[in-house]
Structure 1
């Protein structure tokens, strides 16, 4: 907790030079490398755990046996499993994710073409969720602290619980019917123009905003009852200084951790939302690749999604540690 009588904390760049921060960074890097190895291994095993012959499934049941054998040889599937694994690791480290059977192009090229659309949709939706959640959560925390405004608290909690439990794709279908089909105000497919972002972004952002706002309200209520906040009130600080400078940073620690988890789930939820709105991103591509049994492309997209989740977790760990440096010491003890 922050004490108003203490000296202001040292800049983050100065604190990062301590041995605790070096150990913190080293352990996080080690965990990231281990997680990446598990992710790559799981992606490799995926094609071997699927029942049947993926090459035969991709070429069709009427394809000649010679063509199937030649295709298996091209993909290296006729080698022993350990040899295939070593080759797969080598190729992934060099950026070679194989050749898409559907597009007849390098899987990395197809992913590179579709990835920007998914990033634009997901990051825009998360930014909208944060912009909504932070002021609403702070305002409700201030209004309902100390058991005040019980009706407002119950209404807010009930509404946020309902909005937070609606699946993203189901909300997307409702938004399409209301604003696209019935009212005709907004486009329901594609990504041409700013108006095409409104419905898919809202589909992903509403539930996340509800969960973040509810959590931030609880954290604000707790922080506003702390001793150092009472001291700040006694010193007659302005409401902005009290709530934004002193209360909000402490309330954000848990919210950022949950926000990282929600961003990861938002990435997964974008798969279905992209298909609802015919959004030409990775989510739409992986569904069509699974249906077409294009396993090299599926493997590559799974790797990209997994890497995105891992990077989000690393960023969240660093952000929480910067807001509360002592948390790094606690987690390393």
Structure 2
């Protein structure tokens, strides 16, 4: 009868150490492939538009000479493979094209508008986390083991309703109540700290409701774990059990969803910025679509898409650092 021999500690350590390089290569490869697909889709966008995109952008009254000159300056008269190579080469040096309407480099417009969008999305994400994590923990503790069924039902119903409201409709309601009726807060522009309040609330309430439900569910599972029961048997204070023992073990799933919510918040700024006349990329892309400024639309889509992909990659890396067993060790 043979007995299993445990592998030497050195071999185990080497196996664990080799996981990180493989993880980094996998995630980097996925990111590069996703970026290539995004860039290719953005390039094809302008070529899939029916008719002549330059004529469409300049309008029917533009002269044939002006249209021809603009097509030549955009490189649209070259063969498609040549245009694609030139497009990739331009992106590598930071050339995102030139706006048809303003004749400004698209990267200059993005550089001016991006900080407003980034600050709005990050503040909304921080606000959502600050609301949802304490709320989820409190609801889990209050409704543990079937207690306070009415409170649980009210929380579940209200969170589902809030998360189902589109953020731009919530923004319109906030403008009508707090901006127009009560006159408490500004409703348009980026004029100071108070101008952030309404758009941040409009962006963050829905994600906060979703995240609070996830935190509650994860906390309920952790509160019944053996190590939490051991902490109770040691008569540790309730706040210490909940905050230092249970909460850190419940945040992994919440962090995963939180990263996805941050990506959705970035995309959600497109409509919310237009509700509040916010001078960011969201209002820029809508204006570019309305004026048929396709190079500007192309560049803005690239920035939004790349931002979401990078956020997801960063979340994967953070999750791997917090719990290597679930992410780094996957094949």
TM above 0.5, one fold? yes
> What residue in structure 2 maps to residue 5 of structure 1?
none
Counterparts of 1:103 and 1:79, CA distance in 2: 23
> What residue in structure 2 maps to residue 42 of structure 1?
41
Q: 1:24-39 alignment to 2 at 5 Å?
A: 24-39=23-38
> What residue in structure 1 maps to residue 324 of structure 2?
325
Q: 1:34-183 alignment to 2 at 5 Å?
A: 34-183=33-182
Q: Which runs of 4+ in 1 moved over 3 A?
A: 14-17
> What residue in structure 2 maps to residue 190 of structure 1?
189
Preserved contact between residue 16 and residue 22 of structure 1 (Cα < 8 Å): no
Deviation sequence 1:286-327 (CA, Å, 0-9, x none): 000011111111111101000110111011111212221101
> What residue in structure 2 maps to residue 3 of structure 1?
none
Distance 1:137 1:15, change over 3 A: farther
- Which of 306-315 and 318-327 deviates more? 318-327
Counterparts of 2:76 and 2:227, CA distance in 1: 65
> What residue in structure 2 maps to residue 233 of structure 1?
232
Shift of 1:55: 0.6
Counterparts of 1:322 and 1:234, CA distance in 2: 31
Preserved contact between residue 21 and residue 328 of structure 1 (Cα < 8 Å): no
Counterparts of 1:182 and 1:231, CA distance in 2: 54
Counterparts of 1:16 and 1:210, CA distance in 2: 41
Number of residue equivalences: 319
Do structure 1's residue 246 and structure 2's residue 245 form an aligned pair? yes
- Gaps in structure 2 of 5+ consecutive residues: 1-12
- Which of 122-131 and 243-252 deviates more? 243-252
- Gaps in structure 1 of 5+ consecutive residues: 1-13
> What residue in structure 2 maps to residue 201 of structure 1?
200
Distance 1:182 1:16, change over 3 A: farther
Deviation sequence 1:39-66 (CA, Å, 0-9, x none): 1001000001111211101221122222
Preserved contact between residue 179 and residue 185 of structure 1 (Cα < 8 Å): yes
> What residue in structure 1 maps to residue 10 of structure 2?
none
Deviation sequence 1:79-100 (CA, Å, 0-9, x none): 1111100000000111001111
CA RMSD of aligned residues (A): 1.6
Counterparts of 2:160 and 2:229, CA distance in 1: 31
Deviation sequence 1:112-168 (CA, Å, 0-9, x none): 000000011111111011001111111111111111111111111111111111100
> What residue in structure 2 maps to residue 220 of structure 1?
219
